[in-house]
Amino acid sequence: MEEPITVMIVDDHALFRRGLQMVLESEKDIDVVAEANDGHEAIEKAEQTTPDVVLMDVRMPKRTGIEATRAIKDTLPSTKILMLTISDEEADLYEAIKAGASGYLLKEISIDEVSDAVRSVHAGQSLISPSMASKLLTEFAAMVKRKDERTQVPGPRLTDRELEVLKLVAKGMNNRDIGSELFISENTVKNHVRNILEKLHLHSRMEAVVYAVREKLLDIK
């Protein structure tokens, strides 16, 4: 038996936290280890419990979810943070990605879908609600067009293998699947991803997706 995925729930609505806890703890492979009702408490409890995944609201008192995400990723870089919010503002989505969030889901999703979202993020995938992904791709398409209109500035050089890995990361594949696709070990994939993030001065796989789209490594229809 593998160790359960440890989760912290951060939301300023106690009833919503309780509902999430009940759903998640009914899953054998998930263990809720902490709750917090604001960003400040989230940072403290994350340091105490080192959860695998944090479900984080955006709009909260004292410190916002985005501020808390940035602080938690600074001290616990391996912890995955999944924003779960009512905010469909593009600015919140962009700031969450920059802060290191691995996903951004709106609370309009079924609460029963949260367990699968936790598993996906823990496995290294990136998740965005379809309505937000549409807004994101529209903005990326505009960024690509603006980039075409000005002189290209050479970016950091990635090896051919790193480019292959980056493209597969941007497609939402986890390290195991990337390894199978490229016939290399999962550990080798991890090393490539770490090198890519360091070279590009990025903080998360989600930011790598943003970079891949901006640099036209993926097709935008």
Task: Classify residue 211 by burial, with Cβ atoms within 10 Å: 0-12, 13-18, 19+.
Answer: buried
**Is residue 103 within a helix (H) or strand (E), and if so which, with residue range?**
strand 103-106
- What pLDDT does 45 receive? 95
Task: Report the CATH fold assignment for 136-214.
Answer: Arc Repressor Mutant, subunit A (1.10.10)
Classify 82 as helix, strand or coil.
strand
Q: At what angle do helices 14-25 and 114-122 cross, to 10 degrees?
A: 70
User: Can you tell me the distance from the alpha carbon of 95 to that of 85, in angstroms, rounded to the nearest whole number?
Assistant: 14
Residue 71: the pLDDT is: 94
Average pLDDT, 10 consecutive residues per value, the chain (221 residues): 89 91 91 93 94 93 90 93 84 84 84 87 82 66 57 65 86 85 93 90 80 66 41
- Residue ranges per structural domain of the chain: 5-128, 136-214
- Residue 151 is predicted with a pLDDT of 44
Same fold, 5-128 and 136-214: no
Q: For residue 185, give both structure tokens.
A: 């070990």
Contact (CB, 8 A) for 113 and 121: no
Q: What pLDDT is recorded for position 142?
A: 63
Residue the block writes with tokens 């497609």? 171
pLDDT at 153: 47
- Residue 217 has a pLDDT of 67
At 218 the pLDDT is 57
Architecture of domain 5-128: 3-Layer(aba) Sandwich (3.40)
Look up the pTM and report it: 0.64
